[in-house]
Amino acid sequence: MWIFGYGSLIWKVDFPIKRQVVGHIRGYVRRFYQHSIDHRGLPHKPGRVVTLIPGDENDTVWGTAYEICEEDIEVVSNHLDFREKNGYTKTSVKFYPNLDSDLHPFELIIYVATPDNVSFAGEADIETIAKQIVSCSGPSGTNKEYVYRLAAAMRSIAPSIIDSHLFDLEKAVQNLDQDLIN
């Protein structure tokens, strides 16, 4: 079994893995369109985290694929089903490993929060999302930490890839965060 991480699963791998491979999936875009009431926000003040939105055939989302050992599949599946419980469902997509990998494209599992779930926040402009993010925190930490860690992780694993939604949001959050300090 392979799992694709495109959000916190890139830097917070809290389950056993056999190996990991950087690469991308096609036909989606990463967006901060999902409310978080259990990790980066609270029920009365939800934060925002990423989900995948269908895009066109040229859109790609970079992240990390994790291979799970046969004996760990049930434990990891149960763990991730609980971790991603706030509106995420599993689906299968084709993963394209980085060119330096010896692997060919293959099917894997992703967790996606679709617009029909109760915690779907929906589309908003970058400034509106940033204002929500700087004011939220939850059991897993501040919402702005989530943005900063995801942006840093993406620069680390795919330095030549520009994720404008993520990086524009990071800049907007930094600006608001700086304003709060001054």
Compute the radius of gyration of the chain from its Cα atoms. Answer: 16
Q: Which one is catalytic: 57, 70, 84, 127?
A: 84
Nearest of 23, 25, 80, 22 to residue 53 by alpha carbon: 25
Partners of 143 in the beta sheet? none
Q: Is 84 a catalytic residue?
A: yes
Cα gap 69→163, rounded to integer Å: 31
Do 27 and 162 form a contact (C-beta atoms < 8 A)? no
Report CA 168 to chain centroid distance, whole Å: 16
Q: Which residues are marked as active site?
A: 84
